[in-house]
Structure 1
């Protein structure tokens, strides 16, 4: 199997590239460069090129372990919403004439309606996540204890309460993913998610980046947002066990405040462990990654060859130093995409018609002479 010798060593490739599935496409991020490739309904590709500079490069204190995980989570949420909006523009979902309200927003506030919706969605999304994965499990377990106490059965011991709380979180998470995966558009996005993982795995293995090579790799990747979220839930179970054991009889409201307070710590710790698991594959890190990889059976699907092609184009464009031949795709202003026509059959047909017309004209001219 051909190896890509011009690239850096195998160890240097691990963690060099990250990505995200978007609407009908894939975004790849390498360093400060982000490239998104989307396929339109007519089969053409739209490649957009942008940069994303982390605040950690400007403020080194934000790059210390644990804290950098919190910063990375916030930044990736912002980048995710921005990229999803850009992909919607790329495939033509928002080509309507701006309304009067949109024009007013742009003139008075200097923001578009899309940007405003993105910010509101980000805030609501974070709020909903806290509600579903912090408040709701605590309330459910508290309700169970109240019911058991009313039935004179006796409340659950602290360790069992923490486990039940964790199981409620896992159930909510799995149920949500399973339900949204039934939607056709989400299923296609999950297929692009698989294409993202396969192409990155192909790159990290040192093989030549082709759809055929990428297709042979697993669609599950240890360094994935799904694994991070699920691992956060597992860490939360252990945190609950520790809190309940150290402070038995803690009031529900006080326990809720403590859980909210330690959430950034769990987030940072989860980031460090997932990062370690992705860069140093061994028995221990594989065991840590296993639950998240299992959940990826829901959030990733087997991609088609054309989806792998889209992911590979994004990956090669993001790695512009390693793949200079892809300069034609990314030499453009950020977020002003160039449409790259892939269907050459129509062009070939028009050339044939033009040649036939030229021949006919020459014959008429010869007859006239």
Structure 2
């Protein structure tokens, strides 16, 4: 049997996915997801949830390419939601006095406050992403053309793509220097290792998971790189159309309008690459896997435990939840019984003597 066929025959491939969150890992299998968070006392808090993809309700949204666009939007929403869940789970016991502004927000928005904050954060994230990866590269190339008195022509897409990749690599490199981001990248590595261990069919233990690579072909990092490479190809073809590359106010709307198409095609490729191991997929997956050297780090045993717990909780049909709960209970620190003081012992002796 060829390696390709062997890969396709593995029923565990692609069943579960996840992401690193604040001091933990989120795992998702079908509509079920679980967020496991490591506490300071080494215990693990688990928050379960259900997310029904909208494409299950509307068959049209499940068609190839379209499903990738829908999945991208839903993944962003779920990512922000689970990040909020992990922050609440980790900082739940920390009580801070609310500021006047926070009290005003709570009074006017109530239970909807977190939804509003998440929506604003997501919109800001999208705007910053569009600015950095669409507007800024175009602005840099316009400036170079103005200084050099020449035009890039159809090569604009290539140089724009190179600038985008440079910005992305530099950004990841800089944020990875921050201690809390590095720790998140360690949980990212734990997520990949535990999924690889599960997909191999080996028993899910920290010792077994540790043996596997922290790089995974279906990672979001690989997806971003695939989108950048696809963008170079798509816009090279688009800029061959007369007038498409004539001015920024034409290029910018074209880039935004074609972005969903690139996202959809990129999703289909990532799904294909995750289930096929051949020269073609290895070649195009290589840049994303190289980039994971920055976005993942080797996890410790506690981080692997967290990832494994999250995976097991997200797959109740495969793993016995009662066993997982027992494991979680065992991780909780035992309460020490207060020792009897010397004074109480002396009082007891005195009482006995008085009785005698």
Distance 2:324 2:194 in 1: 21
Distance 1:102 1:52 in 2: 29
1:125 offset after TM fit, Å? 0.2
Residue 51 of structure 1 corresponds to 50
Distance 2:284 2:95 in 1: 45
Q: 1:360 to 1:52 in 2, by over 3 A?
A: farther
Residue 32 of structure 2 corresponds to 33
Could you list the per-position Cα deviations for residues 239-272 of structure 1 after superposition, in whole angstroms to 9, with x for gaps in the alignment? 2211222336522221222111111000100011
Residue 230 of structure 2 corresponds to 235
Q: 1:328 to 1:222 in 2, by over 3 A?
A: closer
Where does structure 1 differ by over 3 angstroms across 4 or more consecutive aligned residues? 97-114, 325-330, 359-369
1:112 offset after TM fit, Å? 4.4
8 A Cα contact 1:18 1:30, kept in partner: yes
Distance 2:159 2:29 in 1: 40
Distance 1:240 1:229 in 2: 16
Q: Give unmatched runs, 5+ long, in structure 1.
A: 1-8, 331-338
Q: 1:14 to 1:362 in 2, by over 3 A?
A: farther
Distance 2:166 2:348 in 1: 75
**Which structure 2 residues correspond to residues 65-214 of structure 1 after superposition, within 5 A?**
65-92=64-91, 95-98=95-98, 101-102=101-102, 104-106=104-106, 108-149=108-149, 154-156=150-152, 158-214=153-209
Residue 342 of structure 1 corresponds to 331
Residue 301 of structure 2 corresponds to 305
Distance 2:114 2:48 in 1: 19
Could you list the per-position Cα deviations for residues 300-357 of structure 1 after superposition, in whole angstroms to 9, with x for gaps in the alignment? 0000011000000000111111111446649xxxxxxxx856254x44x539x58xxx
8 A Cα contact 1:317 1:329, kept in partner: no
Q: Give unmatched runs, 5+ long, in structure 2.
A: 1-7
Distance 1:95 1:10 in 2: 51
Distance 1:85 1:242 in 2: 41
Q: 1:321 to 1:18 in 2, by over 3 A?
A: same
- The aligned length equals 344
8 A Cα contact 2:69 2:264, kept in partner: yes
2:286 paired with 1:286: no
1:362 offset after TM fit, Å? 11
1:110 offset after TM fit, Å? 4.4
1:114 offset after TM fit, Å? 3.2
Q: 1:341 to 1:183 in 2, by over 3 A?
A: farther
Residue 12 of structure 1 corresponds to 11
Could you list the per-position Cα deviations for residues 210-262 of structure 1 after superposition, in whole angstroms to 9, with x for gaps in the alignment? 00010000000010111111111111111221122233652222122211111
2:254 paired with 1:258: yes
Q: 1:307 to 1:328 in 2, by over 3 A?
A: closer
2:319 paired with 1:323: yes
Residue 5 of structure 1 corresponds to none
Q: 1:96 to 1:114 in 2, by over 3 A?
A: farther
Q: 1:350 to 1:360 in 2, by over 3 A?
A: farther
Does the residue aligned with 2:240 lie in a helix, a strand or coil?
Answer: helix
Distance 1:188 1:340 in 2: 25
Residue 336 of structure 1 corresponds to none
8 A Cα contact 1:105 1:112, kept in partner: no
